[in-house]
Chains A and B, each alone.
Chain A
Amino acid sequence: MTPLSSPEPPEPGESTSNADESLVGEATEQAAEHQREQAAPTSGGEVEGLPVTEEGGEPEAATAPMPPADLTGEPTADEEVAPEQVEATAEAAEAEGHAEGTAAGAGGAGQSDPGQAGPESPPVAEAMASAAEGVQPEPAADPEPEPEPEPVDPTSPASADELRLGLLDVLKTELGEAVVGAHIRDGNDLWVRVTPEAWREAAQIAKGKLGCRLFVFLNAIDWMPSPYGRSENSGFDAPAATGEGGIVTGYAGGDTRFQVFGRVHNHEKGYGLILKVDVAEPEVGVPTWIPVYPGANWHERETWEMFGIAFSGHPHLVHLYLPTGFEGHPLRKDFPLLAREVKPWPGIVDVEPMPDEDEAEAAAEQPATEEPAQ
């Protein structure tokens, strides 16, 4: 499958890793473990396969002759056996951090607080932790599955949804490494992230091989947290981090601030899928979908004017809604909503904290809803 096929490429941008790991140490580790458990069933094969080699217990030897687990496999073994080599371990842990970030993204719980704690400090801490824990089987399994199956994870999400796993398989066989992320909500929906080069090809496959002939929509997301916060309930969320630092992408992961996403539907079989693509440089953008779905024309124009994302090959990329001379891209998060800046939203009253009994009531309701937010 893909453990080898998608090794590093998705990782580097993922360095938006887990600062919380360093902060909360043990507790978070457990949380992470929990996440991994959620993600695990996917790649059951890989996960199980690995511990065996580990327990087989020739880790030193393993470093050399572990050809399938190239880069990522080695550090694991190092970390396991030789915690003294802090640098090596740090590397491993870092890799692990990346991988975990990806896993979290794929699991839909990607709420990591990115890199203000440099990559150095958390891994060291982790190395210490693993050193302290020694050979205890539990943590042994802990660092274990991460470096290895994580590269797999982004494109093979945990799911029991045969139909959507099948769709994903078709896309993966056709596109190969161009599929860099996927997420399935069982019985509901499928998210697939592809590389920009494969963006149009993915649409062609969706239309030709998956029968998704109905074009639904195409648009973009700006993942940067708004530097202005929500002006109507400002006490709740102070302006979040600006710039690349604060970016946390959603289902199927992502490496860039902007993502274009589109949905196509198979009206005969009754399923659809959401395709996503990273947009590294908005001015360059991604290839247009018009040759595949003519209806993408206006959607791309809208995306272009609202986000400033270009579509190469689009014949008529001009303003759709806004006046011709309009400056700025309104749906970007750093475009201020002036009406809110000028006059605070009166709706603020509605969201003020409620009396105590309601809080308790809400708290009783919460666990289910709070859980993924962590």
Chain B
Amino acid sequence: MTVTESQKLAYVAGQAAEARVNLEIETEGMTLNLGPQHPATHGTLRIVAKLDGEQVVACEPIMGYMHRGYEKLTEVRTYPQVTTLVNRIDWLGHFANEVPFILAAETLMDIEAPPRAQWIRTIFFEMARIANITLFLGDMGVQLGALTPVFYAFRDREYVLNQMEAVTGGRFHPNFDRIGGLRDDLPKGWIADTKAVMDKVRNFCDVMEDLLVGNEIFDSRTRGIGVIPAEVALGFGLTGANLRASGVDWDLRRDQPVGLAWNEVDWKVWTHPDGDSFARYWVRLQETREAAHIIDQLLDNIPAGPVMAKVPRIIKVPEGEAWVSTENPLGEMGYYIVSKGDLGPFRCKIKSASFNNISVVPWVTRGVYVPDVITILASLYFILGDIDR
């Protein structure tokens, strides 16, 4: 993990900003309020920035506008009912939210889903990733003033969501994962359709690359902006593409495969050494391609068999504690379940990716220009439901 030039510069800029605060230079500071309703916030995140001229010296995200108290609600729900809640945490990566919770419950119950269920889970997981990240790939353009990409993104995301809907009945909230397997098997003809959709996804990635990567404005607004060195990223607990864009080669799909089928196929973890906004965009772009590649391979080899293991009709999870996390579209998402042998969790700590990812904002925005706050926020890519829970 080498420290690149641009990473050093990030440190310097931050220190300069701090020095300015400490010295209290004559210039009169200004406080700028961004949000809570800002297009870059994917929900309602408010950011209060203290400015010195055009530069940010301190920045404080204020959240809670969408806090729904899921951790409290899980304590009065049964295990099967909780998946309905957690669907709504990262609403663009819907299905991926359910998986770690179900896996944690299965860990405690000592149940393993049948192979076919694991493969279909993995396919849906990656489809959720595509549905989630395509929106980012288009949205990043919007933050820079390019409106076209986001329309392509919405169009092509719909193909993926249609495929999800064909199986689960829900575009956004599939609620399809069950303790011990899946609710249903795949419908007839679905595999061929999905392969066609994956071609569209790859095509979409190519289009995005044509439209944005290499574009002069895009480059100048993202390269060297919002640099997060690896050590800082680790300390703040950044995960997912944000961490890989800082050069840390860590992907839970490869490094901690928890009962899912990623190990069965051939794919690659993409990293980028720069740690800037561009790197985060680029890594996600490659990941979307890779996800399509993973799905293609999985579709070719889905094992036969049931999609549901034999589980008790009334699900009681034995006493114990379990932590299971997976590599969700936004980063590592995990559930820490404390069970007392009840019908529902005694305590369920939901660790969502965006909460950690966004906690680096005060650090990374020191010393940047105001318009760059927007691109940095957009490139960190968060979903408000995933921050507030």
Contact = CB atoms under 8 A, between A and B. Distances in A.
A354 B314 contact: yes
Interface stretch (B8-16, B121-129, B188-196, B339-347): B339-347
B235 interface: yes
A358 interface: yes
B107 interface: yes
Contacts of B255: 267, 270
B250 interface: yes
Given A108-B319, A230-B343, A221 B338 contact: yes
Interface stretch (A27-35, A39-47, A51-59, A345-353): A345-353
B382 to A, nearest CB: 13
Nearest to B357: A295
Given A230-B76, A267-B248, A347-B78, A370 B234 contact: no
B235 A215 contact: yes
A243 interface: no
A347 B359 contact: no
Interface size class of A (residues with CB under 8 A): 35 or more
Given A189-B323, A321-B67, A365-B312, A295 B78 contact: no
Contacts of A362: 312-314
Contacts, number: 157
Contact of A188 (B81, B107, B250, B338): B107
Nearest to B110: A368
Interface in A316-374: 319-323, 330-331, 335, 337, 340, 345, 347, 350-351, 353-354, 358-359, 361-362, 365-366, 368-373
Contacts of B336: 217, 219, 261, 263, 274
A215 B311 contact: no
A83 B234 CA distance: 59
Interface in B212-266: 231-232, 234-239, 248, 250, 255-256
Given A215-B237, A216-B332, A267-B234, A322 B321 contact: no
B25 to A, nearest CB: 23
Contact of B64 (A236, A261, A320): A320
B73 to A, nearest CB: 7
B349 A217 contact: yes
Interface size class of B (residues with CB under 8 A): 35 or more
Contact of A214 (B78, B234, B319): B234
A204 interface: no
B313 A351 contact: no
B385 interface: no
A236 B80 CA distance: 16
A344 to B, nearest CB: 11
A42 to B, nearest CB: 18
B359 A298 contact: yes
A273 B272 CA distance: 28
B312 A216 contact: no
A124 interface: no
Which of B78, B109, B338, B342 lies at the interface centre, i.e. has the most chain A CB atoms within 10 A of its CB? B78
Interface in A91-121: 108-109, 111
A107 B175 CA distance: 34
A233 B78 contact: yes
Contacts of A185: 322
Contacts of A263: 323, 336, 351
Contact of A331 (B72, B320, B355, B363): B72
Contact of B236 (A230, A274, A294): A294
B293 to A, nearest CB: 24
B42 interface: no
Nearest to B317: A369
Interface of B: 63-64, 67, 69, 71-73, 75-78, 80-81, 107, 109-110, 231-232, 234-239, 248, 250, 255-256, 310-314, 316-323, 325, 332, 334, 336, 338, 340-344, 347, 349, 351, 355-356, 359-360, 363, 388
Interface of A: 108-109, 111, 185, 188-189, 191, 213-217, 219, 221-222, 226, 230-233, 236-237, 248, 250-251, 261, 263, 267-268, 270, 272, 274, 293-295, 297-298, 306, 319-323, 330-331, 335, 337, 340, 345, 347, 350-351, 353-354, 358-359, 361-362, 365-366, 368-373
Given A371-B318, A373-B319, 5 more contacts: A108-B319, A215-B237, A217-B237, A331-B71, A361-B313
**Interface pairs A-B: 5 shortest CB-CB:** A321-B64, A295-B236, A295-B237, A373-B341, A215-B237
9 contacts: A108-B319, A217-B237, A232-B76, A330-B69, A365-B310, A368-B110, A369-B109, A369-B317, A371-B318
